[in-house]
Structures are given as structure tokens and as C-alpha cells.
A and B are shown apart, each in its own frame.
Chain A
């Protein structure tokens, strides 16, 4: 018997199913005739639980053991492997968090510039290029959506006051 990534995922999925099945008991029953609102989600969650259980059993009897402490999964390698993705996640959360204040235009330019610089490097020439790219691309997209497609993009507090 072995514990690998699939085992952890299966346990996580089972926990998820447990929470959601428990939450499905709170779904209101208005008393109308026909299928209840909780019926379909319950079926889906039950099937999901069964499949997660199958995955758990399969992962535990699997002959290939992916050792959690192997070289592939040590913390430094994991950090390097997910470094760029983590930067994207973080930048996107910051971008969304400040969207109300900065708006889509300023926020978008800062997001693209920040992401380009963090992913591409900090050399002066590159930074200037990144700034130009972010201003031009977001400027064009913002203009297309605002003037061409008449979408009212978030203006942001800064531009609103200004």
C-alpha cells in the first residue's frame, strides 16, 4: 500500500463531497410537485463520492509509489516549478483586489507591466519595453471595449476623482 498524490487528491475530494452533501440537506424544499431541488446535486455528489473512493483505493494499491519526499517534490523544486504560476496568481489577486480603486485601465496597465517584469526580468531595457507593451496593449483593448463595444469597464476611484 502506498500514499501518493492521487491518495491526497482523493481524500480531499471525499472531504469536499462530505461538506457538499451535508450542505445539500440545507437546500430548501418549496413543496412543489416534481423533482426536488436537492435531488440532482445529491445524485452527482454521490457518484462523485463513489468515484473518489475508487480513486482512493486505486491509488493505495498502485504499484508505483510516488514518494512524497522524493527529489521531484522537495520544497525547493516545487517552488521553482510553480514560481511563475504563483506570480501570476498573486498578481491577478492584487489586480482584482485593487480594481475598484485603480480601474481597468490603470489596473490593467500595472498588472501587465508588473507581470511582464516579474516574469521577464528587471533589466532597464526590458523594463522600458514592458512599460511600452503594457500601455499600448491595455490602451488598445480598453479603447476597443469602451468605444467599440460600448462596455463600461470599471473606471476606478482614481480616474473618477481625477
Chain B
């Protein structure tokens, strides 16, 4: 084990090429995160074509640099201009910007920067500790369980991606359908090719992803003629000296907030589809509720900067846990990383850490190292950021559209892939206009083949469909899927409604059933805790109903 870790360490830290790539990746991530209209996912997607020529570890390390850099990049724009660079830094604006306006820009940036660093470090430790354990758990999964896990991943993506649940489900199903085009992997039979030879290979996942996400986003960015022609930011910040020492001391004094926010970030990251955009708001909200200086929030409170920044960087580690342990991408970024691994013929799954220990530990180490780069590059990237903000969006969009075409072509050296990207770009653009969330469709495309393969394996082993509900893990994920589908209705329900009062306790009690069925002592204890907590909540809420 130690020699594998040392080898992985050497492949990252002692390889100047990998370090250089990570450095460039982190810088690109910071800039992508800082520019409004760009997202971290877009930064990672656009990095992908460059990784085709790299080794798997170099490619992943570069993308991790972009991923980590992107989370902290958002804080520059939101603090200096009041405009969040990414949805992950929305809550940072609430107190970061007032702190800058009150004459402490150096401290504000320092707090954001070091909170991101510490949050990332905490999640990196959890990633290293938890991913192998979760992978061991994954070894218990049969095809029934995997299929149900995929169904859960899709339904929770639908329920958390916001908006209309029907449209979300339709988007997910369209993604699943897109993955069926071409020769099926089980029988090698052509499906929905309509006589075109090009369709036989199916739609490659990356052109679909770049089209749906990057291409459609660029079209949206240039939609407004006036906005497209004006510089990226009308307000521009100025270079400031970051107050590192003072910021670190303040954060360490508020360690409870730091740890709480980091754990919120990690947990949100583990949940499929719930990324930094949710965790930063959740952490801010919890920090506000727990703070004795609640009235200072929104006026430049330190805790209001620490919480969202620690949470959003910690989300990255959480998302990686699911991808590394189970091969299920938690969000678009990890879906792209999964795609990058597949290009190198590596299929992540429960055996990934055992089969590819060098790569797996390389990812852990790269995740650590990227955080040091992120801190080191902040001052330099601030200067570049101020230059980039002067460029109008139409210039960036035009150049990136061409770059997308070149990058997609590089995947298989076929022009058909560029057509696929264009086709899905147009679909993605109109879906967004019509209020369909894109995340479920992307996850549908990524997970479609895996779902079908596991369903085929399950039906090949046994015709008994009841296995989907009689196997504890499968039942657990199916129940989670049902709970996640109902979740948006819970969010919309009035606080005093019966449904709203009983949703959480009933979900806890229901979820304890498969845990009891699993039989192991630890899971029985967890199930008992779930039941007892559920019953307690039920009792409390029922008695509150009686009194009213």
C-alpha cells in the first residue's frame, strides 16, 4: 500500500510535466470560475480535448486543477465586483462584497481563499478515508442494486436540478434514449440508425456533453446583443494584497463553522446532482442560524464568507467520492472525468481503487496538490482576471465555439462528432429556453448504457423481477428514488401541511427497512437510529398538530 502511495505521489509531485499541467489547469479553473457566464463544468469540459494526448493520471490531474481552481475562482469576481462568477459562490457575495466595500478587500479575499483551502483539505481527507470504504460496500452490489442505484442517481438529479419535475424526468429519459442509439453492447444489434452507418457507433458521450452543455451555454451567452458586445464585467476590481496571516487566524478561531460547512459541502457533493451551487447556500444558512452575530450577516460578517467558501470546495471531494467508489458521477464535472477515464479504457466502479491503485491514489494526491496551487496562483490569476474581464462575451464565445469543434474532432478524428455536438448544442439550447433542466439529460446519456447493461445482466441471471425489491441494497435505492421524486412536492408544500410534517419522519422509517434486511450489526444500529428518530419526529409533529 505504502509503495503504491509513494509511486502515485511521485507520478504527480515529482513529474514536472504533470505539475505544469496542473498549474495551467488550476489557473484556467480560477479564470473559468471567475468569469460570469462560465461555469466550472464548462471549464472542465473545455479542458477535456487537451487531455486526449496525455496519460490518464496527467489528464485527471489537469481536470482536478480546473475543478478545484474553479470553486475558488468564483470568489474573486463576487468579492471585487459583487457579481458571482459561478453559482457556487452566490452566498459568498452576501458578506464578501460588503466586507470589500467596508475597506477590507485583502482580508475578504484572504478569508475566501483560505476557507476554500481548508474546506478542500478536509474533504480531501474524507475522500481518502471514505472512498475505499464505500468501494468495499460497492462490491456487495449485484446488477439489480446497480440498476436501482442508477435510477436513484437519475431521479435525485431530476428533483434537485430545480424547476418542473415532469420536464426533468423527460430530460432524463431523453438522455437515456440518446444512449440507446447505435449498436447495443449486449447483442451487437443496430438500433435507431435509420440506415446511416455513422449512427452505428452511437453518439459518443463527449460530443453530446460538450454540445448539450458548452455549446448551448455559449449560444445563451451571446443571445442579448447589448450584453454580448459589452465587456464581461462593467465594474472592474483592482489588484489588492491578500492578508493571508490574519485570514488564517480568523478562520482557525472559527473552526466549528469551518468544519460544519465543510461537512455540509462533502455531504452535498456525495449526493448526485447536488453540487456547490446548493452547498454554499446551505452552509451560509446554517452558519447564520448558529452564529451569535446573526444581525451582522449581510454586512460583512467573517462567518458569512468562511461558510460558503469552505462548503463549495469541500463539495469537490464529495463528488469525487461517488465517482471513485462506485463509478457513478455525482455531477457534470465528475461525468466528464468519467468520460476522460473511459477514453483511456479505464472503467471506474467498486473495483477501480483495487484495480487501478496508482491512478486512484494519484487522484487523491492531485486533489491535495491542486489546493496548494490554488492558493499560490490567486494573486497572479487576479491580474489575468482583471484583463479577461475587458473582453466582450461575443469574442470569447466565437473563439470557444471554434475550439469546441476542434476539440471534439480530436476525440475520434471524425467530422461526424462535430455534427453530433452541433445537433445536441441546438437541442440543449432550445431545451433550456423551454425550461428543461440539462443535468438529468446529461446524466441519462452517461448512465444509460450502464443501466441497460446491468438490467441485461440481472435478467440474464434470473427472470425474477422481485429481486429488485427483495435485495436490500436495490430496495434501498428504489426507496431513495421514490423519496427523491416526492422531494420537490415537499419543498413546494406549505410548512403547516400534513404532507410537509410527515415527509421526513416517514422517509426515515421507510428507509430503515432495507437496512434491517441487510443484517449486519452496524447497519441494524443505523436502521434502529433511523426508526427511533423518525418515530420521535412523528410524535413531536403529531402532538404539535393536536395542540393547534
Contacts and interface: CB of A to CB of B under 8 A. Distances in A.
Interface of A: 5-6, 9, 13, 20, 23-24, 27-30, 32-38, 40-41, 44-45, 47-48, 51-52, 54-55, 58, 80-85, 88-89, 92-93, 95-96, 99-100, 104, 108, 111-112, 115-116, 119-121, 133-134, 137-138, 141-142, 144-145, 148-154
Interface residues of B, number: 58
B189 A96 contact: no
A34 B459 contact: yes
6 contacts: A23-B192, A35-B186, A84-B224, A88-B222, A99-B415, A119-B394
Contact of B402 (A20, A45, A93, A112): A112
- Of A44, A47, A96, most buried by chain B (CB within 10 Å of CB) is A44
A137 B402 contact: yes
A82 to B, nearest CB: 8
A37 B189 contact: yes
Contacts of A37: 184, 186-187, 189, 191
Contacts of A34: 186, 456, 459-460
A27 B460 contact: no
A35 B455 contact: yes
B521 interface: no
Interface in B404-457: 405-406, 409-410, 413, 415, 418-419, 422, 426, 429, 434, 451-452, 455-456
- Of B50, B173, B177, B398, most buried by chain A (CB within 10 Å of CB) is B398
A140 to B, nearest CB: 10
Secondary structure of the A contact surface, majority rule: helix
B52 interface: yes
Contact of A120 (B180, B392, B426, B452): B392
Contacts of B169: 47, 51
Given A141-B402, A154-B409, A85 B429 contact: yes
B538 interface: no
B192 A41 contact: yes
A13 B431 CA distance: 12
A54 B169 CA distance: 11
Given A28-B189, A112-B398, A23 B406 contact: no
A40 B53 CA distance: 35
A151 B413 contact: yes
A84 B426 contact: no
A137 to B, nearest CB: 5
Interface string B122-139: 000000000000000000
Given A89-B426, A108-B406, A149-B53, 20 more contacts: A20-B177, A28-B189, A37-B189, A40-B451, A45-B177, A47-B169, A51-B166, A51-B170, A54-B166, A58-B166, A84-B219, A84-B222, A84-B223, A84-B228, A84-B394, A88-B397, A133-B399, A137-B402, A137-B403, A149-B50
A13 B402 CA distance: 31
A47 B176 CA distance: 11
A27 B188 CA distance: 11
B15 to A, nearest CB: 18
Contact of A92 (B53, B170, B401, B460): B401
A55 B167 contact: yes
A53 to B, nearest CB: 10
Given A34-B459, A104-B409, A116-B398, A52 B191 contact: no
Contacts of A119: 222, 228-229, 394, 397-398
Contacts of A120: 229, 392, 394-395
A80 B229 CA distance: 15
Contacts of A89: 219, 426
Contacts of B229: 119-121
Contacts of B140: none
Contacts of B399: 112, 133-134, 137
Given A44-B173, A112-B398, A116-B394, A152 B413 contact: yes
Given A13-B170, A48-B173, A32 B187 contact: yes
